[in-house]
Structure 1
Amino acid sequence: MTSELRQRIYQQLASVELIDPHTHINPLDAGSHTLVDILGYHYYTELAHSAGMPREQIEDPAISAKEKVGRLIEGIGPIDNTIQYSWLIDICQRFFGFEGDRLDASNWEALFDSSEAQMADAGWSDEVLRRSNVKSVFLTNDFDDPLAGFDTAKYVPCLRTDDLVFHLGKPEVRQRLEAATKVSVGSWTELREAIGVLFEHFTTNNARACAISIPPSFAPEPVSDGRVETALDAVLKDGVNADESHLRALSHRIFWTLAEMCDQYELPFDLMIGVNRGVYPTGVFQGQDLYDSRVSLIQYQQLLNAFPRVTFPISVLASVTNQELASYAWIFPNVVTNGHWWYSNTPSIIERDAAHRLEAVPRTKQIGYYSDAYKLEFVAPKFDMYRKILAKVLEQYYVIDRSWSEERAVEFGTQVLRGNVETTFKIS
C-alpha cells in the first residue's frame, strides 16, 4: 500500500509544470488523430509482434486506421502485464473518459469513435499539454529542418546529428546538407563551414541542445586536418563503399567538430549511448534495435577531457551501464545523468537506477526524466510513472532513512524533475 507520506510527496511533484527535455514529437502534428496513432507506437507493435502477431498483419498498408486498431487489440492481450499497457489505459482514461482497465473486443470500437471525435478538435494539442501540465517539449529535429511554422518556446528545437556523423557517405544526406546550408561540400573546410551554418540556424531559432544516438562500438577521438581531407575525398568518391578506415575517420572528425560547435555556441551535447541498430531486421518498424552491454564510457574519456566547457547530458540504454554513468557524473563536472532511456524505462529498473543517481551524483547534475514520446498523449502517463517512483525513493531513502523533512525531499524532487532542465539547457 502507498503511504500517506509518499502520496503527499507525489501530489506535490505532480503539481510541478513539466518541461520534457527529449521527445520525437512533430510540432506541426503534435497530437494524435485516432487510436492508431497511439496503438501504432512502436512499444505496442513490437510487443504484439513479440507475442505472436505477424509483422505483415501489423504493417499492412491496405487497411484503414480502424481496422489496424482492431487487429492490434486482438494482438495485445498478452501484454496487459507490461508497463506499456498501463500507459495505454492511462491515456484512454485521462483524455478520452474510458472507465475500464482493459481494451478488448467489447469496448474498443466505441472508444475509437468517441476519441476520434475529441481529437478532431483544432485545439487538441494544446488541450493535451494543458491536461498534462506541460509547459514545453524538446524536439528531435533533422539537421535540415526549416524550424518554421511552430512556437519554438513551446516546441523547443534540438539539432539531431546522427546523419551527419554516421551517414555522410550517402549522396542523399550530402544533398540535404548542401540544400540546407547553401554550401557545396567538396572539402573539409567547406564541410566545417556547412556545420557552422546549421548551428547558426538552430541557435537563432531557440535550439537548446545538440544530440546524437551512438552505437556501442563508437569511440570518438580527434582526427587531423590532413587525415580528414583524405577521408572526405574517399567518401565523396566512393560513398558508403569507401574503406572503413576513411568512414571512421570522417565520422570521428565530424563528431569532434560538433563538440567544438557546442562549445562555441554554448549548447549542451546530448549523448544517447549504446543502441545496436538492426539486430532483428525482420521486426516491425522501430522494433529492430537492442542495447549492447559491450560499451563503456571510457570510450568518451578523450572527449570529456577535451571539452570541459561543454555539458554532456548522457543517456545509457542499458541499466548495467548506469553505475558507470553515475560515477562519471560524480567525477566529471561536465557530465549530467539524463533520464531513463528505452529499455531502461520500466519501473523496477528506474527505481534502482534513480536511487543510485540520487545518492551518488550532485543534485544539480541530474535530469530526472524525459518521455521520448512521439505523440503528446504519452508525455503524461510516462512522467506520472516516473513521479510515483521518485516519490517512493524520496520517501524511503531521504525522509525515512535520512530524516529529511518532507519539504526538503519535495524540493530535491522538484529540482530533479524540472529545475535542472532549466539550468542545464538555459531555459528562463
Structure 2
Amino acid sequence: MSEQLHQRLFDELERLPLIDPHTHINPHAAASTTLADILGYHYYTELAHSAGLPREQIEEPGLEPRELVGRLAPFLDHLDNTVQVSWLVEMCREFFGFDGDRIGAANWESVYDAALETMALEDWENTVLEKSALEQVYLTNDFDDPLDGFDTSRYVPCLRTDDLVFHLDRQTTRERFEKSTGVALSDSSSLRTGLAVLFEHFTSHGARACAISLPPDFTPEKPDSVAADAALSRIDGDTEWTCDEATAVSRMVFWTLSQACADFDLPFDLMIGVNRRVYPDGVFQGQDLFDKRTSLKQYGELFSAFPGVTFPVSVLSSTSNQELVSYSWIFPNVVTNGHWWYSNIPAYIETDCRSRLQAVPRHKQIG
C-alpha cells in the first residue's frame, strides 16, 4: 500500500463517528480526574507489575493518585516498546500538550500537572468525547443497577450477566436478584419471571445489549429443567453445589437469558474463552488469561436455537479468530466483535481484520 493511499484511508476513517461497544466506564463520573485514572488502568498496572513493580506498591490502601503515578512512571522506561505506552504518549500529546517522545521517571511530574489542569476544566468530559469522535459509549451494568442519574443516550446501558449465570450459589447474588426484581429465586419458573423483570427494567432505560464473559469449558445446551430445579430447590445461604448441579443451573440461566434476548430483541454479546484467576497474585484485573481449549463448536446449538438473536462474539486469541470468521461466514446471527483484551495488539488486529474483511459480510463486523 502506498503512503498516499494509506493516508487517504486513514483520513476517511478519521471522519467516522465512533460507538464504543464495550467499556467499564462509570457514567456518573465518566471523565478522568488525574493521570492516575489512566495509568492506574490494568493495561498499565499489569505491565508495570510484569516489569518488576510489586503489586503491594500498586494497590497499597490509601495511596494518593500522584504517588501511584510516581511509582509507576519509572517502569515506563522498560515499557516504551509496547503499544500501550504509545497510546499513553499519544493521549498526553493530544489532550495535555505533551511534546516529548517518552514519559518516565524524568518528566512524569510535569505531565501529571498538565493533565490535572486540563482535567479540572468544566468541559473536560465533552472535550474527550468530541475530540475522540465518540457518539455513544456502551456500559457494563450489573443486573441490579438502578440505571438512574445519567444520559442513557450517550452512556448506553448493557446488562452484564456473569453473576447470574455463574454465581447463583452465592447468597448475596440471590439477595440482589430478589431486591431488584421482587422475585425470590426457587426454581426455573421464578428465574424466568425475575429475568423478565430485569429485561423490562433495562430496556425501559435504553439498554441495547446483554453481555457475558465465558470460560473455555462452558458449553451452552438446551437445559435439563429437572436437574436445574433440583439444584435450585436446595439453595440455602452460600450453597455448595456439585459440579453437575452448578452446570445444570448455569445452562438453565444462560438459555433463559438467550430466550429473553429473543423476546426483548436484544443482541447477546459473548466474550468467549477467559480463565479467571490464573495468576491470583496479579494486580486487579491482571489475573485472567486464555488457553486454546476454546471452540465455537460448543456454541453451534445455541446459534441454531436462537436464529433471531444476534450474537456479537469476541475471542481472546488470534488463534481463535479464524474459527470466529468461519462461524460469522456461515451463521447469519454471528457477528465478529472487536479485538478483546489480549488480542488488542496491532500485530494481531491487522491479521485478524484482514481475514474478517475478506470473508465476512461487511455489515456483520464490529470494530
Tell me, in whole angstroms, the C-alpha distance in 1 between the residues paired with 2:160 and 2:63.
33
Matches within 5 A, 1:246-285: 246-285=245-284
1:196 counterpart = 2:196: yes
The equivalent residue for 2:228 is 228
User: Structure 1, residues 378-416: CA drift from partner, whole Å, max 9, x if none?
Assistant: xxxxxxxxxxxxxxxxxxxxxxxxxxxxxxxxxxxxxxx
- The 3-state SS of whatever aligns with 1:159 is strand
Give unpaired runs (5+ residues) of structure 1.
Answer: 369-428
Tell me, in whole angstroms, the C-alpha distance in 2 between the residues paired with 1:297 and 1:19.
26
Give the paired residue count: 367
* Identical residues among aligned pairs (%): 58
The equivalent residue for 2:307 is 308
Q: What TM-score does the superposition give when structure 1 sets the normalisation length?
A: 0.84
The equivalent residue for 1:107 is 107
Give, in angstroms, the shift of residue 331 of structure 1: 0.6
Matches within 5 A, 1:339-358: 339-358=338-357
The equivalent residue for 2:318 is 319
Q: Supply the AA of the counterpart residue of 2:308.
A: R
Tell me, in whole angstroms, the C-alpha distance in 1 between the residues paired with 2:126 and 2:147.
19
Give, in angstroms, the shift of residue 117 of structure 1: 1.8
Tell me, in whole angstroms, the C-alpha distance in 2 between the residues paired with 1:48 and 1:114.
23
Contact 2:77 2:105 in 1 (8 A): no
The equivalent residue for 1:36 is 36
Which 4+ stretches in 1 moved above 6 angstroms?
none
- The 3-state SS of whatever aligns with 2:92 is helix
Q: Supply the AA of the counterpart residue of 1:305.
A: S
- The 3-state SS of whatever aligns with 2:202 is helix
User: Structure 1, residues 75-103: CA drift from partner, whole Å, max 9, x if none?
Assistant: 22211100000111011111111111111
- The 3-state SS of whatever aligns with 1:78 is coil
Give, in angstroms, the shift of residue 257 of structure 1: 0.3
- The 3-state SS of whatever aligns with 1:212 is strand
User: Structure 1, residues 14-37: CA drift from partner, whole Å, max 9, x if none?
Assistant: 011111111111111111110100
Matches within 5 A, 1:12-411: 12-234=12-234, 236-237=235-236, 239-368=238-367
- The 3-state SS of whatever aligns with 1:272 is strand
Tell me, in whole angstroms, the C-alpha distance in 2 between the residues paired with 1:122 and 1:224.
55
Tell me, in whole angstroms, the C-alpha distance in 1 between the residues paired with 2:281 and 2:318.
26
- The 3-state SS of whatever aligns with 1:293 is coil
| Distance change (3 Å), C-alpha of 1:90 and 1:2 | farther
Give, in angstroms, the shift of residue 106 of structure 1: 2.7
Tell me, in whole angstroms, the C-alpha distance in 1 between the residues paired with 2:239 and 2:85.
40
Q: Supply the AA of the counterpart residue of 1:352.
A: T
- The 3-state SS of whatever aligns with 1:340 is coil
Give, in angstroms, the shift of residue 301 of structure 1: 1.2
Query: Would you tell me which structure has more helix in proportion to its own residues?
Result: 1
Give, in angstroms, the shift of residue 108 of structure 1: 1.2
- The 3-state SS of whatever aligns with 1:180 is helix
Give, in angstroms, the shift of residue 58 of structure 1: 1.2
- The 3-state SS of whatever aligns with 2:88 is helix
Give, in angstroms, the shift of residue 225 of structure 1: 2.8
Give, in angstroms, the shift of residue 161 of structure 1: 0.3
Give, in angstroms, the shift of residue 240 of structure 1: 4.3
Contact 2:224 2:248 in 1 (8 A): no
Give unpaired runs (5+ residues) of structure 2.
Answer: none
Contact 2:75 2:104 in 1 (8 A): no
Give, in angstroms, the shift of residue 227 of structure 1: 2.2
Tell me, in whole angstroms, the C-alpha distance in 1 between the residues paired with 2:157 and 2:361.
27
Give, in angstroms, the shift of residue 123 of structure 1: 2.5
Q: Which has the higher contact order (CA 8 A, sep 6+)?
A: 1
User: Structure 1, residues 350-377: CA drift from partner, whole Å, max 9, x if none?
Assistant: 0001000100111111112xxxxxxxxx
| Distance change (3 Å), C-alpha of 1:6 and 1:309 | same
Q: Supply the AA of the counterpart residue of 1:49.
A: H
| Distance change (3 Å), C-alpha of 1:264 and 1:100 | same
Contact 2:18 2:135 in 1 (8 A): yes
| Distance change (3 Å), C-alpha of 1:28 and 1:170 | same
Between stretches 216-225 and 150-159, larger displacement belongs to 216-225
Q: What TM-score does the superposition give when structure 2 sets the normalisation length?
A: 0.98
Tell me, in whole angstroms, the C-alpha distance in 1 between the residues paired with 2:142 and 2:225.
27
- The 3-state SS of whatever aligns with 1:22 is coil
- The 3-state SS of whatever aligns with 2:104 is coil
Q: Supply the AA of the counterpart residue of 2:176.
A: R
Q: Supply the AA of the counterpart residue of 2:328.
A: A
User: Structure 1, residues 9-59: CA drift from partner, whole Å, max 9, x if none?
Assistant: 101110111111111111111111101000001011110111111111111
The equivalent residue for 1:396 is none
Tell me, in whole angstroms, the C-alpha distance in 1 between the residues paired with 2:62 and 2:91.
27
Between stretches 60-69 and 350-359, larger displacement belongs to 60-69
